[in-house]
């Protein structure tokens, strides 16, 4: 029985190899966009906007391919709930990689707390204001009041 299996696989193997086929590569000209936060985590579902039109969203790895067929300069807007929005001007440079970093409210609030501990109140205020621009949360408002009260002392 083993002998027949070996012969069967020896006869079938060349046919299986002939059936394998590599798919042709799609025309991948465009701009490759990769979106991360400031802790180098890929950001999923970042909205990529051109004016009022949503072009698409990033995948689970923070990637998006923008098919750019004209020679115009465009302004793309990157937005995600809880993160800052970024505007980026691009032109028609095919096969260009565009790395975008978005700061989250939590990231800026943590920086604000760090500067508050170091008694650098201006920097702490700047970062808590950035956190509040990303999202309005009661703990961020409380931290802002703490910073204000420390500045008055």
Q: Please report, for the domain that includes residue 85, its CATH number.
A: 2.60.40.1120
Q: Do 35 and 91 have their domain in common? A: yes
**Max Cα-Cα span within the chain:** 90
Q: Do 36 and 95 have their domain in common? A: yes
Q: What is the pLDDT of residue 15?
A: 60
Strands (E), 2-153: 31-37, 47-50, 53-57, 63-66, 74-79, 86-90, 96-102
Q: Do 94 and 136 have their domain in common? A: no
The domain of 71 spans 31-102
Q: Please name which of 141, 143, 31 lies closest in space to residue 97, comparing C-alpha atoms.
A: 31
Q: Which residue has the tokens 């009260």?
A: 149
Given a contact cutoff of 8 angstroms between Cβ atoms, the answer to whether 58 and 46 are in contact is: yes
Q: What is the pLDDT of residue 66?
A: 86
**Cα–Cα distance, 58 to 41 (Å, whole number):** 13
Q: What is the pLDDT of residue 24?
A: 45
CB atoms within 10 A of CB 133: 13
Q: What is the pLDDT of residue 60?
A: 95
Low-confidence ranges of the chain (pLDDT < 70): 1-29, 68-71, 92-95, 153
Q: What is the pLDDT of residue 152?
A: 78
pTM of the predicted model as reported, rounded to 2 decimal places: 0.73
């Amino acid at each position: 029985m083993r002998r027949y299996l070996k012969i069967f696989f020896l006869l079938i193997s060349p046919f299986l190899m002939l059936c394998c086929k590599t798919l042709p590569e799609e025309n991948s000209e465009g701009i490759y966009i990769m979106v991360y936060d400031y802790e180098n985590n890929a950001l999923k579902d970042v909205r990529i906007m051109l004016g009022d039109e949503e072009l698409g969203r990033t995948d689970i790895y923070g990637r998006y391919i923008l098919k750019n067929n004209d020679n115009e300069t465009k302004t793309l807007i990157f937005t995600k709930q809880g993160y800052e929005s970024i505007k980026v001007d691009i032109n028609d440079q095919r096969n260009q990689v565009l790395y975008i970093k978005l700061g989250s409210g939590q990231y800026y609030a943590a920086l604000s707390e760090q500067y508050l501990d170091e008694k650098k109140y201006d920097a702490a205020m700047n970062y808590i204001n950035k956190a509040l621009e990303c999202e309005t949360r009661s703990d961020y408002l409380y931290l802002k009041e703490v910073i204000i009260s420390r500045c008055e002392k």
